[in-house]
Each structure stands twice: as structure tokens, then as C-alpha cells.
Amino acid sequence: MIPRYTRPQMAAIWSDQNKYKIWYLIEAHATEKLAELGVVPQSAVAAVWSAKDVEFDVERINEIEAEVKHDVIAFLTHLGEHVGEQSRFVHQGLTSSDVLDTCLAVQMRDSADLLLQGMDRVLAALKTRALEHKFTVCIGRSHGIHAEPTTMGLKFARFYAEFKRGRARLVAARDEIATCAISGAIGTFANIDPRVEEHVASAMGLAVEPISTQVIPRDRHANYFATLGLIASAIENLAVEVRHLQRSEVREAQEFFSKGQKGSSAMPHKRNPILTENLTGLARLVRSAVIPAMENVALWHERDISHSSVERGIGPDANGHLDFALQRCAGMVEGLIVHADRCQENLDAQGGIHNSQRLLLALTQAGVSREDSYRLVQRNAMKTWDEGGQLVDHLKADAEVTAKMTNAQIEACFDEAYHLKHVDTIFARVFAD
């Protein structure tokens, strides 16, 4: 995890200290149930729970692991240094994957909870800005070219809907990943009673994995990281839109530029879209975890550890980067400056050619074939494009057009309100919640 792009809340979830605390709780709850079933003495339970306030020594565990070459064994050895002779009853019938995979499930679930907080902040910001700019008219663009009018509010609403879908996916992925496996070697429960698994799952707030081999099936994890990738793509989608709107030639919106902020080391006039450029990069990092997570699904027989090194990297990094990105994205939206006057300037800049479709339809309604209607409108639109002036004036001077439409009918096709008549309908759909 890179400190620059990691919030302390997420770093804490993936810290060694937290990991060992989760390992400890898994072992303690398992020992608790084993004692209830008569497999280990009650004295073992008391001995294990005596370490509940211990701050495990990461350096000591690393020292042991350097010798034994096994992280769970190293932890159990260190736990034994605190628990004493009764530690021989700890880990009865378990395998290391029971501890590792159940711990990972807890960390992923807790990470998802933090990500959902970020999603909620982004959604709240987008809704606020959508309502604020519901009728702030601007030109819509297809292929980067002026098309027909839209509103800044509709832009924000579109992103709100995308993030809302992402939130629903994350809730589902969180539930799917939050499973517990305490099934022993190869997952057959030969040396551990399934009731132990049920007890640990309940204590840790997890569901029971219906069938595990020696590991929890990795399609669950693949789905989780794919969901993170989709959310990251939503962030980039929004970020790219803002970056385009902030270009000098467009200047319809810009990131908040604080007093004392510097845009360029060489050019003092610069106001660069650094937040959204950073978000674009972070999105790429999050998505880089998706394919490795999918490749982790195919493991040899009942278990191998080819997935392990991958997850040690992508688990903290993908969650950490997305958590940071969501908070940065929310702050960017909250502070975004919209230049309504510039929106209108750009809308007016092409002489009204954005009304071409309405004119096309009006001519067909007046009895002109679609082919001829297209020809007449395009002819005048291209004249406006190449020579300047106003499309409405060129149309009024075209005898073929005026033979079918009056000047008043032509002028009526340039009413901007026409394009906004269903904005309320769209908003009602998007914000139905």
C-alpha cells in the first residue's frame, strides 16, 4: 500500500497487527467450540482467551517465520509463547487455509464497508450537483462534436445512476465474499466438526461456505475485484468528463483551485485538472487487479497457493486505491465549479446548428421526403459551419425550405426549451430512491 494513496482507516484493516488479531479470534472461537464438543479441555479455552488483549509482536513472528518458512505456524508458535502449555490444543483439526481464507473474508468485508461509505459520499455529492444544475443548459457532444443540448444536471444524474449500480454490485459482492471455511485439510471435515465452522462463522459475522476444498472458492474473490474494477471505471468515466470540460477551449467546468495552489512549475497561469487525472490513474491501478483475480480461480485439485502471492498484493492495494479514489472523487464533485455562462457561449457558438434534427423532422412533417429534408438541412448547416452566420437565417434564405415552411415555423425550431421538456421525467427515474 502506497502511503500517498492510502487512508489510515483502510491501512488499519490490512495491517499485520489487525491480520494477526483476526487469526487469533478465529483460533479462539474454534477452540471455544471444540471444548464445548469435548475435543479439547475447557482449560484450553481460558488459556487462549487470556491473550485477548495481547498486541502481537510482528517482528517476533517474522523472526520465527524466517526459520519455519510458514506464516501460520510462526503465528501459532508466537501465540504459544503467550498462552503456554495449553497452546497444544489450539488449531486442532484446522489447516492454515481455514485461518488465512476466513481472515481474508473478514478483511474484504470490512474493506467493502469502508468503500460503501465512500460510494455514499460520491452519490450524495452527485445528487446535490445534479439538482443544482438541473436546468443549466449546455451543448451535448457526440464524437467530441457539438450535437444537441443537454444540461449539466443530466450529466451529474447520469454518473449518479452509474455509481448507484456500482453500489448495488458492491453490496452483493460484499455478501458473497463474507464466508467462513473451517473444514480442515482438503475440506472434508475429517478432523474438525462442521459445528466448529458454524460457530466461528457466527462469531465473526460471516456466512458458512457451503463447500470448500482446502480453500474458499476463488470465483467469489474474482467477482469482488471485478466489482471494484467497475466502480473504478465509473470514477474514470466521471473524471474524463471533467477533464474534457476543463480544457481551455471548453471551460464549462473546472476543479476547485484553492488560494496558493500552483498549477505548473514553469507556467504560472495554469490550472490543471490534477485531481481527475490522478483519479484516472488510480482507476487503472484498481482495474489491474481484475485479471489476476480471475486467474486465481483455477487452482490445482483441492488446493495450491498460486493465488496467495497475488492476493497479498491486490487485496490491500485494490481496496486501498479505490477507497482513496472514492473520497477524492467525492471531494472533487463537491468542489467542482460550473461556468453556466460559458456553457451558454459554447451552445451559441455554432450558429444554432444543434437544432438540425428538429428541422429535419419538421420538414418531413411538412411533406418533404426524409432524403430531401436531410439534404436541405445539411446544406444550410454546412454553410453555417463553413461561412458562419446563423442557421435560422440561412434557412430563411433558402427557397426550397421556405416553399415548405414559413419563417415562423422555422424560428419555432430554435426554441431551446424543446430539448428540456423531459428533464423532470429523467430525474424522477434516476432519483426514485
Neighbour-count burial of 261, counting CB atoms closer than 10 A to its CB (0-12 exposed, 13-18 middle, 19+ buried) = exposed
Q: How far apart are CA 296 and CA 217, in angstroms?
A: 9
Residue 179 parent element (H or E): strand 179-180
Q: How far apart are CA 218 and CA 216, in angstroms?
A: 6
Residue with cell 483475480: 293
- Residue 1 makes CB contacts below 8 A (sequence gap 6+) with 10, 11, 14, 316, 317, 320
- Whether residue 354 contacts residue 337, with contact meaning beta carbons closer than 8 Å, is answered with no
Residue among 264, 306, 309, 369 flagged as catalytic: 264
Q: How far apart are CA 371 and CA 381, in angstroms?
A: 15
C-alpha cell at 2: 502506497
C-alpha cell at 407: 419563417
Active site residue 264: yes
263: DSSP letter: S
DSSP labels for 113-179? HHHHHHHHHHHHHHHHHHHHTTT-EEEEEETTEEEEEEEHHHHHHHHHHHHHHHHHHHHHHHHHH-E
The 3-state DSSP class for residue 206 equals coil
Q: How many angstroms separate the first and last alpha carbons of the chain? A: 36
C-alpha cell at 73: 505456524
Cβ atoms within 10 Å, residue 268: 8
> Kind of pairing, strands 207-208 and 179-180?
parallel
Q: How far apart are CA 210 and CA 302, in angstroms?
A: 15
DSSP labels for 265-298? SS-TT----HHHHHHHHHHHHHHTTHHHHHHTT-
The 3-state DSSP class for residue 146 equals strand
The 3-state DSSP class for residue 335 equals helix
Active site residue 143: yes
- Whether residue 277 contacts residue 254, with contact meaning beta carbons closer than 8 Å, is answered with no
**Residue of 242, 319, 250 lying closest to 286 (CA atoms):** 319
Residue among 143, 269, 301, 422 flagged as catalytic: 143
Q: How far apart are CA 316 and CA 2, in angstroms?
A: 10
| Residues with catalytic function | 143, 264
